[in-house]
Amino acid sequence: GAGFIVSGYCPGTSLVSAASGNIDGMLTFLGVIVGSVLFGEMYPWVAKFYLSGHMGQVFLYELLGVPPAVVALGVAVMAAGCFLGAEWVERWATRTILGRTGGPDCPAAPRRIAFGYFAAAAALGIAFLLLPVRVGQAKTDGKRIESIDVITLAHRVIEEPWRLRIIDVRDEQAFLKQRIPGSEHSRLEQLGEIGLQYSKGIRDLVLVGAGDLAEERLPDVVRLYPGRIFLLKGGFEAWRRFALTPPPPLKADASEQERQAYQFRAGLHAALTGAPAPPPPKNSVKFKAPPKRKGGGCS
C-alpha cells in the first residue's frame, strides 16, 4: 500500500507505464511481484496478525453512516479538486522553480473541453444516483429462499468466494470469536440498513444464524435482494462441527469418494484452525502380481 502511494501507480497502471518505457513503472511492477512472493512465503508467520483485524466486508458509507450517493459525490468532488489542484501546482512550479512564465506546451482549450465532458458525465451519474429508488413497489411474495449445506458452502468459500456474500446474524461477540471466512456481521433486525435492496444481486446471499434460521423471521427487505438467497442449514453450529472440528479417522476400506471428502475436510480444518493437516491415510489396497500362466508358445 505504501509503495502504491509513493509511486503513484497501481498494478495495472504500473504495467502500462513499464510497457511505455518508464523506469519507475518497471520498478513498481517488479516490487508488486517480489512483495507478493515474499508475503506468500511469510504468510504462516504473519497469518495471525494478518487476520487479527478482519472485519468482514465493510463499506465506507457504512462506517461514515451516510447514504452511498453522498460518498460517490464526495469521491467525484475529491477527484475534480485533485485534478484542478494538480494543474495549479504545475503552473506554480513552472513559474517559481523553473522560472518560466510562458503558458503550457499544449493549448488549454482542448483540455478544458475534455474536462468539461468528464465533469458533465460525472454530474449526470451522480444525479442518477440521487434519484429515489422505489423499493416499496418491489414484490416480496413468492421470492424463493433456498437452503445450503455446509459441505456445499465450504467448497464455494474455497473455490469461488467472489460469488458469495455471507452475512452472519449471530451475536457480535460470537461472530468475532469464530466466523466463516469472508463473512460480515449484521443483526437480523438491521438487515434493512445494509443496502440489500440496492445490490445488483450478482453474488449469492447466504444468511448464517447460530442454528437453523426460520424463514418467517426474516425481515421483508431480505426478499428484496435481487439475487439468489440461501439459509445455511444447521447454522454456524453445523459449520463449526464440519470445518472447525477435526474429522474422524478414515476407515481402512474407505472408498475413493470418502477419501477425497476426508482430505478436503482435513485440509479445511487445518487452514482455518492453524493446525497441521493430519497425515494421509495409508492405502489399504495391496497390489498382487498376476499368477504366471503356464504353457509355451505365445501364451
User: What is the number of other CB atoms lying within 10 angstroms of the CB of residue 1?
Assistant: 5
Residue with more model confidence, 34 or 252: 34
The continuous run of DSSP H or E covering 146 comes out as strand 145-148
Structural domains of the chain sorted by starting position, each given as residue range(s) with its CATH number in brackets? 1-53 (no CATH), 58-131 (no CATH), 139-243 (3.40.250.10)
pLDDT in the model for residue 49? 83
- 244-267 pLDDT, tens digit per residue, is 888 888 888 888 888 888 888 888
Look at residue 230 in the predicted model and tell me its pLDDT. 93
**SS3 state of residue 164:** strand
Q: Are the CB atoms for 28 and 42 separated by under 8 Å?
A: no
pTM (predicted TM-score): 0.48
Q: Report which of residues 124 and 240 the model is more confident about.
A: 240
Pick the more confident residue, 187 or 99. 187
For 145-179, how does the pLDDT look when each residue is reduced to its tens digit (9 = 90+)?
899 999 999 999 888 888 899 999 898 888 888 88
Give the position of cell 459449520: 239
The vertex-263 CA angle with 272 and 259, nearest 5°, equals 155
